[in-house]
Amino acid sequence: MKEFRLQPKILFGEDSLDYLKTLEYKKVMIVTDEVMTQLKLTDFVTNSLSSTTEIKIFDKVEPNPSMTTIENGLKDFIDFEPQCIIALGGGSPIDACKAILYFSYELYKKLKVNKRIFFIAIPTTSGTGSEVTSYSVVTKGEHKIALANDLMLPDVALLSTKFLGALPAKVVADTGMDVLTHALEAYVSTNANPFASSLAIKSIKLIFENLVTHYNDRKIEAPKENVQFASCMAGIAFDNSSLGINHSIAHTVGAKFHIAHGRANAIIMPYVIEVNTEANKKYYEVSRELGLPADSIEEGKFSLLSFVRILKEKLGIEKCLKDYGVDFETFKREIPNMLSDIKKDICTTYNPNKLSDEEYIRLLFKIYFGE
Mapped to the 3 state alphabet, what secondary structure does 3-34 carry? CCCCCCEEEECCCHHHHHHHCCCCEEEEECCH
pLDDT in tens, 72-93: 999 999 999 999 999 999 999 9
Is 211 a member of any domain? yes
Residues contacting residue 295 through CB under 8 Å, at least 6 positions apart: none
pLDDT of residue 269: 99
SS3 content of the chain, % helix, strand, coil (to 5): 60, 10, 30
Residue 122's φ and ψ, nearest 5 degrees, are -125, 100
Residues contacting residue 217 through CB under 8 Å, at least 6 positions apart: none
241 plus 190 within the same structural domain? yes
Closest CA relative to residue 60, chosen from 100, 28, 23, 21:
100
Is 268 a member of any domain? yes
| 2 pLDDT higher than 90 | no
Is 1 a member of any domain? no
103 plus 218 within the same structural domain? no
CA atoms of 94 and 370, how far apart (whole Å):
33
Preceding omega of 8 cis (within 30 degrees of 0): yes
SS3 38: helix
Is 101 a member of any domain? yes
pLDDT of residue 286: 98
96 plus 245 within the same structural domain? no
Which of 163, 186, 201 is the last residue in one of the domains?
163
Average pLDDT over residues 265-292: 98
| 226 pLDDT higher than 80 | yes
| 216 pLDDT higher than 90 | yes
CA 247 from centroid of its chain's CA atoms: 10
pLDDT of residue 85: 98
pLDDT band at residue 174 using 50, 70 and 90 as cut-offs = very high
| Average confidence score pLDDT of the chain | 95
CATH number at residue 317: 1.20.1090.10
User: Could you give the maximum distance between any two Cα atoms of the chain, in Å?
Assistant: 64
Overall number of domains in the chain = 2
CATH number at residue 84: 3.40.50.1970
Is 199 a member of any domain? yes
Which of 163, 197, 216 is the last residue in one of the domains?
163
127 plus 14 within the same structural domain? yes
258 plus 353 within the same structural domain? yes
CA atoms of 81 and 54, how far apart (whole Å):
11
116 plus 176 within the same structural domain? no
227 plus 332 within the same structural domain? yes
Average pLDDT over residues 293-318: 98
| Torsion region of 177: left, alpha or beta (phi above 0 gives left; psi -120 to 50 gives alpha) | alpha
44 plus 101 within the same structural domain? yes
pLDDT in tens, 25-63: 999 999 999 999 999 999 999 999 999 999 999 999 998
pLDDT in tens, 138-150: 988 877 888 989 9
97 plus 30 within the same structural domain? yes
What DSSP string runs through 69-113?
A: HHHHHHHHHHHH--SEEEEEESHHHHHHHHHHHHHHHHHHHHHT-
pLDDT of residue 113: 79
DSSP 66: B
In contact, 206 and 226? CB cutoff 8 Å:
yes
pLDDT of residue 64: 87
pLDDT in tens, 198-208: 999 999 999 99
| 175 pLDDT higher than 90 | yes
Q: ∠ at Cα 186 (181, 187), nearest 5°? A: 100
Is 363 a member of any domain? yes
SS3 291: coil
pLDDT in tens, 328-346: 999 999 999 999 999 999 9
Residue range(s) defining the domain that contains residue 27: 9-163
Is 115 a member of any domain? yes
Q: Does 182 or 135 have the greater pLDDT score? A: 182
CA atoms of 143 and 145, how far apart (whole Å):
6
Q: How many CB atoms lie within 10 A of CB 304?
A: 25
159 plus 178 within the same structural domain? no
87 plus 173 within the same structural domain? no
128 plus 205 within the same structural domain? no
Is 122 a member of any domain? yes
Which of 163, 180, 199 is the last residue in one of the domains?
163
| 14 pLDDT higher than 80 | yes
